[in-house]
């Protein structure tokens, strides 16, 4: 009935807290309590949220990845010992559609995240350390700067006015210096952490993987060396997804995964196709079997990430002559 107080869950009943994150607010839904809460996405709001969650037992928090706005809440809740799962926004949206919800509001998204947590029980997401988080931010900035440099080069090539060409030349020089400073800082931060140095050394031993690609793999695939070959290819978005129905055998294609990691592997595969003897032989064999160029390159990318995962797990360097 309206106005009737909802009972608190017992100690045996897990509580799923779905949190929809925006720049200004955190919209919270507690299931099965049926309680909604909106707090500001700042230190004051976090204190209010944690006071409410502290009164409940067995709380599991589910949030969408938002790029950066969820990170402070994630760190704060994890520091208090709460189990936090960061889920892919696409997965959350598909779950909402599967439940028959087409509308999208902050309160509804928070409720559906809580329901998804109860239905799917996703595993907790490991919180990256401060060093890894800083490295990830720098690597993302480096990728963005390189994309900007490419765009400036294209604009410079198309420009006809002398003044505009001079301005674009100046911007290109500034961007190039910015990229070089980012390269230096990324290398410094990797060198400051023995575990990151170990990973970089292993990755750089593989013919085809350079420093930029190695940094992208270190920052973008924290799970490298800690999961199976199939799992690492799924995370990188390089696993061929089946599309079969009845008697139809559909075309298998890659989809999903982490775009930044896949971009880095693309550049590494272009180099490995030429300079890595094993992968060059593998690619030539696929070519002789009539495979298309893109299919061959994706296969080389998949081989590269599985090889990197294996070597990091075994803590050994790549050897052109297999042991």
Q: What are phi and psi of 315, to 5 degrees?
A: 55, 50
Cis peptide before 243 (omega within 30 of 0): no
Confidence of residue 123 (pLDDT cuts 50, 70, 90): confident
Quote the tokens at residue 88. 């892919």
Confidence of residue 12 (pLDDT cuts 50, 70, 90): low
User: How confident is the model over 225-239, as pLDDT tens digits?
Assistant: 999 999 999 999 998
Bridging pattern class, strands 15-21 and 25-31: antiparallel
Give the C-alpha separation, 281 to 63, whole Å: 45
276 SS3 class: coil
Which pLDDT value is given to residue 302?
A: 95
Quote the tokens at residue 320. 């052109």
Burial class (CB in 10 A: 0-12, 13-18, 19+), 17: buried
Burial string for 114-138 (b: 16+ CB within 10 Å, else e) reads bbbbeeeeeeebebbeeebeebbeb
Bridging pattern class, strands 35-40 and 59-64: unpaired
Neighbours of 213 (CB within 10 A): 25
Give the C-alpha separation, 39 to 74, whole Å: 15
User: How confident is the model over 49-87, as pLDDT tens digits?
Assistant: 999 998 888 899 999 988 788 888 999 999 888 999 999
Q: What percent of the chain has pLDDT over 70?
A: 95
Q: Strands of the chain (E only): list them.
A: 15-21, 25-31, 35-40, 59-64, 83-87, 244-245, 248-249
User: How confident is the model over 186-245, as pLDDT tens digits?
Assistant: 999 999 999 999 999 999 999 999 999 999 999 999 999 999 999 999 999 998 887 777
Which pLDDT value is given to residue 2?
A: 46
When mean pLDDT is compared over 4-13, 84-93, 204-213, the highest value belongs to: 204-213
The mean pLDDT value of the chain amounts to: 90
Cβ within 8 Å of residue 7, ≥6 positions away: none
| Residue 6 scores a pLDDT above 70 | no
Which pLDDT value is given to residue 306?
A: 95
Contact 15, 54 (CB under 8 A): no
Give the C-alpha separation, 296 to 75, whole Å: 41
Q: What are phi and psi of 86, to 5 degrees?
A: -100, 120
What does pTM read for this prediction? 0.81
Whole-angstrom CA distances from 286 to 38, 208, 224, 283, 293 are: 56, 19, 27, 5, 9
Angle (deg, nearest 10), helices 130-158 and 259-275:
70
| Residue 18 scores a pLDDT above 70 | yes
SS (H, E, C) 122-149: CCCCCCCCHHHHHHHHHHHHHHHHHHHH
């Amino acid at each position: 009935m309206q106005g009737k107080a909802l009972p608190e869950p017992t100690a045996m009943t897990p509580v799923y807290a779905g949190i929809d994150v925006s720049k200004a607010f955190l919209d919270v839904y507690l299931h099965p309590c049926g309680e909604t809460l909106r707090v500001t996405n700042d230190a004051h709001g976090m204190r209010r949220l944690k006071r409410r969650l502290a009164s409940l037992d067995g709380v599991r928090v589910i949030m969408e990845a938002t790029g950066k706005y969820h990170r402070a809440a994630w760190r704060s809740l994890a520091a208090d010992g709460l189990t936090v799962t960061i889920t892919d926004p696409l997965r959350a949206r598909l779950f909402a559609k599967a439940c028959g919800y087409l509308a999208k509001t902050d309160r509804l998204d928070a409720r559906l995240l809580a329901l998804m947590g109860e239905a799917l029980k996703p595993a907790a997401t490991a919180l990256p350390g401060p060093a890894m988080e800083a490295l990830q931010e720098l690597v993302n900035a480096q990728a963005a700067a390189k994309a900007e440099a490419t765009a400036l080069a294209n604009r410079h090539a198309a420009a006809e006015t002398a003044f505009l060409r001079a301005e674009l030349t100046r911007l290109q020089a500034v961007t190039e210096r910015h990229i070089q400073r980012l390269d230096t800082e990324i290398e410094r931060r990797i060198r400051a952490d023995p575990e990151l140095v170990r990973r970089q050394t292993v990755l750089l031993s593989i013919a085809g993987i350079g420093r930029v690609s190695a940094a992208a793999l270190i920052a973008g695939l924290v799970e490298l060396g800690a999961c199976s070959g199939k799992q690492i290819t799924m995370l990188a978005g390089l696993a061929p997804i089946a599309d079969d129905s009845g008697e139809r055998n559909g075309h298998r294609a890659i989809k999903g995964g982490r775009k930044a990691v896949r971009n880095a592997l693309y550049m590494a595969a272009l180099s490995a196709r030429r300079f890595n003897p094993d992968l060059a032989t593998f690619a030539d064999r696929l070519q002789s079997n009539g495979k298309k160029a893109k299919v061959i390159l994706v296969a080389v990318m998949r081989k590269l990430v599985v090889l990197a995962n294996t070597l990091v797990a075994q803590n050994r360097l790549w050897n052109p002559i297999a042991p």
